[in-house]
Structure 1
């Protein structure tokens, strides 16, 4: 078995030596990776199924490429993934299609405007539920697809 040892030398004299280990990539960010489907959104007085009668919004994270994409129940969007620890920022401009979807228009507006308010996230230990949080209030909940 090979050990990684860091030795600091000065003029050929060992001043200090210690075990060297690799730091692990932030596990909470890697838990974001993949497709998630919205199953709860706070705020609107309209029932969830009324906002999204035909198609629930989805969000997809590609952590390796620092990309976020998805569908707002009508239009597709894509942009840069901005994550630091459990902080997440959706205020960067995103590219979005402009299809007209009469039955999903209000739901789309609620989804996109709520996304702009999100400041952090939490993925449950089992990796199946993603919560988007604004301040200390859970605003959106997604299920892993």
Structure 2
């Protein structure tokens, strides 16, 4: 009788330990997915101008450099580089560094202003990167091949 109890406790302990390690792996995978990709904007909340009107030629893109803690890309017109901080699912962006000074419409301003507002991120079941204000998606990106 005592050996059955020990066997049951051992099996339960192994099951609990295996579930815990699976959870940690999925968090690592989410972050790896964020860093190992170039993301292109497909939705932005707020502006009254249609998305294709804001970005008629080129859509904004972002990549996250894990080593330098900088997000880099283009805002549809000019290149940018900005510091970021990630803690679990929270994300904040600093002030963008100097960019080239070409003017290409309102899209650039809308994109950079929205980056300052977001405070969370997620990668959804469809593999899309969502930058959010609390739990409301403000910008959605899809992964592109370089």
Q: Which interval holds the TM-score relative to the shorter structure?
A: 0.7 to 0.9
Q: Deviations over 1:103-122 (max 9, x none)?
A: x3200010000110000011
- Matched residue, 2:56: 53
Tell me, in whole angstroms, the C-alpha distance in 1 between the residues paired with 2:53 and 2:96: 26
Give the TM-score, by structure 1 length: 0.75
Q: 1:24-35, aligned counterparts within 5 Å?
A: 26-33=28-35, 34-35=37-38
Provide, for residues 88-127 of structure 1, a one-character-per-residue CA deviation record: whole Å limited to 9, x for no partner. Answer: 001x2221313223xx32000100001100000111245x
Structure 1 unmatched ranges of 5 or more: 1-21
SS of equivalent to 1:105: coil
Deviations 1:18-42 (A, max 9, x none): xxxx976733222211210000001
Q: Secondary structure at the match of 1:96?
A: coil
Aligned residues: 121
1:142 aligns with 2:144: no
The TM-score normalised by the length of structure 2 is: 0.74
1:93 aligns with 2:95: yes
**Which of 19, 41, 44 is 1:41 aligned to?**
44
> Structure 1: which 4+ aligned runs deviate by more than 4 Å?
22-25
Q: In terms of mean alpha carbon deviation, does 44-53 or 117-126 score higher?
A: 117-126
Which residue is 2:76 aligned to? 73
1:123-143 CA distances to partner (integer Å, 9 max, x unpaired)?
Answer: 1245x3101110121100000
* Aligned equivalents of 1:89, 1:124: Cα separation in 2: 19
Q: Counterparts of 1:100 and 1:86 in 2: how far apart (Å)?
A: 34
Unaligned runs of at least 5 residues, structure 2 = 1-20
More helix by share: 2
Choose between structure 1 and 2: higher strand proportion. 1
